[in-house]
């Protein structure tokens, strides 16, 4: 058995940069490379694409990411674990095999399916967020259960170079290789808790290494243009040190890691995944060398009985319009412009949001003490409708401000976008039927 | 003397549905006690009046020098249906650091 396993994270969201994963695969001396590319809404959008084209629905950047990575992982013996299968892991695996053939490489890809559970849900069951029945929220589009290590292990054992999943819990992308390589059992609570801390710290990639951290003069991060992504060296008990490839940009220390450890954690005593109820409250982060931290102290309790399911539904359309004003009295002109649009659209939208970007856009009001006198501001109006054409009226009315509004408006833009809503519900684990299908060149 | 949280701590915001999660982390370990005393859930609720509309729960993480605030009904219905420009409420971290405390 290996003494330590090195896992890198080469993507922290669907549109993440391609370069850091290449750097990790080439110079990182990795055993595993995880790529986390599937936010809640991303999978519903992928399902929309699959409805239009049965061969689509896997991650839109899959081929671009794999074109660079395939030669490197074959050369260096790195296995990839990724949720880039999105709404169609089978088609994604076939696409990787086709790409490998084109590149003259051999590859083995294991596709994990079974997370798509729309047919297994009861329309009368409650939405977690609101307590209302599922049937009341509008046309359902997709439902994906968060699978975990137990469901992923057969794929890990298949010997595949690439394990391609749909919806799995993000930290499981790291925990599954650990459980597989070290032979941790599903009910090994302490090791699963520590491995989940590792996965959670890695899952947002650059957010551990100084991405989303910099504040010039206050919290400086070197060479952000070449921000490197993290890897973890994990021992057989789940204790880990984290670092990044020498020469890459960014920083990793107690401060960057604390921000990431707590990121999106609704209860630090009970971070729920399909694998564990993790407790982060006793986690310790120690700086051991420059850009290197040691992390210990993850604890846990039994995993939840049920799986969380993320349900996507059609939520209508959002129409937006924007136009800018500058110079003396610009705020008053932007406010007048907003009042004009609101008056013209009166009674047509349940909710119309009118903002002066520069003053109210982010927080509805300035949160600081003291006066604001911006040199320029931008009016933004947004409204939602179940009807695309009606939603488009918002942007159209903002555009008419060119010749029908206050003086000096410039840079008008309009857009109308389909909205996918997401809610959650629970599903008994036994109802899910995970399946692994292996494809080879 | 009033001091801005910006001078004492750093912050990151995350989201789950219509819930905002705000981490407040002391730069210096010795400032954590002051943050714990002054940055109460009630004070944060007042600071975010009209923005975080539901309950705010605070978790204390002394080992990390951090406080974690979880605020309900904070994101205009949540990332997928909000009409706001920052649907995730990611920028609320900066709003938290604008808060002033007696120090």
Q: Which positions ≥6 away from A4 have C-beta within 8 Å?
A: A233, A234, A235, A236
Mean pLDDT of chain A: 96
Tokens 């695996």 found at: A93
CA A406 to chain B, closest CA, distance in angstroms equals 23
Q: What pLDDT is stored for residue A130 in this prediction?
A: 84
Kind and range of the H or E element at A164? strand A162-165
Which residues on chain B are in Cβ contact (under 8 Å) with A382? 83-85
Whether A267 has its CB under 8 Å from any CB of chain B: the answer is yes
Q: What confidence tens digit (pLDDT) does each residue in A46-64 have?
A: 999 998 999 999 999 999 9
- Given a cut of 90, whether residue B82 has pLDDT beyond it is no
Q: What are A130's two structure tokens?
A: 């609101």
Nearest to A174 by CA among A185, A163, A160: A163
Mean pLDDT, range A426-440, rounded to an integer: 97
The size of the A-B interface in CB pairs under 8 A is 114
CA B55 to chain A, closest CA, distance in angstroms equals 13
CB B13 within 8 A of CB B93: yes
For residues B15 and A141, give the distance between their C-alpha atoms in angstroms, rounded to a whole number.
Answer: 22
Which residues on chain A are in Cβ contact (under 8 Å) with B47? 367
Of B21, B27, B65, the CB nearest to A264: B21
Q: What pLDDT is stored for residue B81 in this prediction?
A: 73
* Strands (E) located in A12-134: 32-35, 79-82, 108-113
- Given a cut of 80, whether residue A322 has pLDDT beyond it is yes
CA A284 to chain B, closest CA, distance in angstroms equals 7
Nearest to A48 by CA among A56, A40, A38, A37: A56
Whether A206 has its CB under 8 Å from any CB of chain B: the answer is no
For residues A59 and A47, give the distance between their C-alpha atoms in angstroms, rounded to a whole number.
Answer: 10
Of B25, B65, B85, the CB nearest to A362: B85
- Probe site for chain B from A258, A271, A318 (most B CB atoms < 10 A): A258
Whether residue B68 and residue A259 make contact (CB cut-off 8 A), yes or no, is no
Q: What confidence tens digit (pLDDT) does each residue in A222-279 have?
A: 999 999 999 999 999 999 999 999 999 999 999 999 999 999 999 999 999 999 999 9
Span of A173-177, A185-189, A367-371 with lowest mean pLDDT? A367-371
- Given a cut of 80, whether residue A369 has pLDDT beyond it is no
Whether residue B63 and residue A367 make contact (CB cut-off 8 A), yes or no, is no
Whether A346 has its CB under 8 Å from any CB of chain B: the answer is no
- Probe site for chain A from B8, B66, B85 (most A CB atoms < 10 A): B85
- Given a cut of 80, whether residue B67 has pLDDT beyond it is yes
Q: Is the ipTM of this complex over 0.95?
A: yes
How long, in residues, is chain B?
103
Q: What confidence tens digit (pLDDT) does each residue in A373-429 have?
A: 899 999 999 999 999 999 999 999 999 999 999 999 999 999 999 988 899 999 999
Whether residue B99 and residue A367 make contact (CB cut-off 8 A), yes or no, is yes
- Given a cut of 70, whether residue A93 has pLDDT beyond it is yes
- Probe site for chain A from B80, B87, B102 (most A CB atoms < 10 A): B80
Cα distances (angstroms) measured from residue A432 to each of A93, A144, A183, A273: 21, 10, 24, 16
- Taking each helix axis from N to C end, the angle separating A330-344 and A388-399, rounded to the nearest 10 degrees, works out to 140
- Given a cut of 70, whether residue B15 has pLDDT beyond it is yes
| % of chain A with per-residue pLDDT over 90 | 93
Mean pLDDT, range B66-78, rounded to an integer: 90
Q: What confidence tens digit (pLDDT) does each residue in A202-212 have?
A: 999 999 999 99
Span of A5-19, A98-112, A366-380 with lowest mean pLDDT? A366-380
Q: Which positions ≥6 away from A271 have C-beta within 8 Å?
A: A196, A200, A265, A277, A278, A279, A280
- Given a cut of 90, whether residue B19 has pLDDT beyond it is yes
Q: What pLDDT is stored for residue B49 in this prediction?
A: 96
Question: Which of the four pLDDT bands, split at 50, 70 and 90, describes residue B55?
Answer: very high
Q: What confidence tens digit (pLDDT) does each residue in B30-46 have?
A: 999 999 999 999 999 99
Which residues on chain A are in Cβ contact (under 8 Å) with B16? 264, 266
Span of A71-75, A400-404, A421-425, B3-7 with lowest mean pLDDT? A421-425
Question: Residue A219: helix, strand or coil by DSSP?
Answer: strand
Q: What pLDDT is stored for residue B77 in this prediction?
A: 72
- Chain A residues 116-145 within an 8 A CB cutoff of chain B: 129
- Probe site for chain A from B4, B7, B12, B71 (most A CB atoms < 10 A): B12
- Given a cut of 70, whether residue A24 has pLDDT beyond it is yes
Question: Which of the four pLDDT bands, split at 50, 70 and 90, describes residue B80?
Answer: low
Question: Which of the four pLDDT bands, split at 50, 70 and 90, describes residue A1?
Answer: low
The chain A residue lying nearest B47, using CA atoms, is A367
Question: Which of the four pLDDT bands, split at 50, 70 and 90, describes residue A370?
Answer: confident
Whether B80 has its CB under 8 Å from any CB of chain A: the answer is yes
- Given a cut of 70, whether residue A155 has pLDDT beyond it is yes
Whether B54 has its CB under 8 Å from any CB of chain A: the answer is no
Whether residue A268 and residue B59 make contact (CB cut-off 8 A), yes or no, is yes
pTM of the model: 0.96
Cα distances (angstroms) measured from residue B43 to each of A189, A367, A403, B18, B31: 37, 14, 46, 21, 17
Which residues on chain B are in Cβ contact (under 8 Å) with A285? 64
Burial A264-273 (b: 16+ CB within 10 A, else e): bbbbbebbbb
Q: What pLDDT is stored for residue A129 in this prediction?
A: 86
Whether A268 has its CB under 8 Å from any CB of chain B: the answer is yes
């Amino acid at each position: 058995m290996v003494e330590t396993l090195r896992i890198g994270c080469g993507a922290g969201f669907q549109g993440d940069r391609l370069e850091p994963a290449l750097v990790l695969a080439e110079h990182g001396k990795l055993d595993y490379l995880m790529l986390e590319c599937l936010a809640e809404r991303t999978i519903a959008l992928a399902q929309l694409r699959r409805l239009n084209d049965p061969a689509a629905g896997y991650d839109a950047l899959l081929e671009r990411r794999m074109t660079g990575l395939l030669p490197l992982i074959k050369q260096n013996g790195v296995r990839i674990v990724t949720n880039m299968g999105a709404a169609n892991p089978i088609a994604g695996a076939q696409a990787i095999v086709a790409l490998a053939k084109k590149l003259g490489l051999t590859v083995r890809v294991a596709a994990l399916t079974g997370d798509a559970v729309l047919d297994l849900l009861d329309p009368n069951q409650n939405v977690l967020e609101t307590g209302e029945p599922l049937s009341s929220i509008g046309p359902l589009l997709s439902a994906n259960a968060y699978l975990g290590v137990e469901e992923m292990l057969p794929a890990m054992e298949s010997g595949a170079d690439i394990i391609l999943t749909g919806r799995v819990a993000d930290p499981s992308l790291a925990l599954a290789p650990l459980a597989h390589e070290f032979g941790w059992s599903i009910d090994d609570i302490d090791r699963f808790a520590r491995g989940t801390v590792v996965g959670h710290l890695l899952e947002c990639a650059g957010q551990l290494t100084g991405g989303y951290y910099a504040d010039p003069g206050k919290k400086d991060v070197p060479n952000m243009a070449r921000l490197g992504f993290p890897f973890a060296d994990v021992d057989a008990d789940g204790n880990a040190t984290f670092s990044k490839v020498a020469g890459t940009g960014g920083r990793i220390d107690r401060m960057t890691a604390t921000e990431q450890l707590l990121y999106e954690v609704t209860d630090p005593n009970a971070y729920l995944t399909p694998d564990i109820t993790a407790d982060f409250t006793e986690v310790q982060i120690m700086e051991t060398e420059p850009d290197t931290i040691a992390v210990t102290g993850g604890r846990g309790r039994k995993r939840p009985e049920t799986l969380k399911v993320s349900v996507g539904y059609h939520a209508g359309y959002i129409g937006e319009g924007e136009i800018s004003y500058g110079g003396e009295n610009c705020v008053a002109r932007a406010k007048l412009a907003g009042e004009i649009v609101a008056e013209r659209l009166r009674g047509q939208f349940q909710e119309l949001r009118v903002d002066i970007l520069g003053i109210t856009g982010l927080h509805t009001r300035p949160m600081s003490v003291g006066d604001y006198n911006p040199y320029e501001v931008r009016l933004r109006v947004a409204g939602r409708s179940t009807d695309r054409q009606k939603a488009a009226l918002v942007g159209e009315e903002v555009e008419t401000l060119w010749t029908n509004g206050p003086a000096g408006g410039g840079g008008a833009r309009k857009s109308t976008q389909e909205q996918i809503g997401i809610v959650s519900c629970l599903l008994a684990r036994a109802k899910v039927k995970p399946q692994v299908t292996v494809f080879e060149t | 003397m009033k001091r801005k949280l910006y001078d004492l701590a750093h912050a990151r915001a995350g989201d789950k549905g219509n819930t905002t999660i705000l981490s407040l982390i002391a730069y210096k370990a010795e400032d954590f006690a002051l943050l714990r005393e002054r940055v109460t859930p009630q004070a944060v609720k007042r600071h975010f009046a009209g923005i975080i509309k539901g309950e705010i729960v605070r978790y204390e993480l002394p080992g990390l020098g951090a406080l974690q605030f979880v605020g309900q009904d904070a994101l205009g219905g949540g990332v997928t249906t909000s009409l706001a420009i920052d649907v995730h409420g990611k920028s609320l971290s900066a709003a938290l650091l604008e808060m002033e405390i007696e120090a």
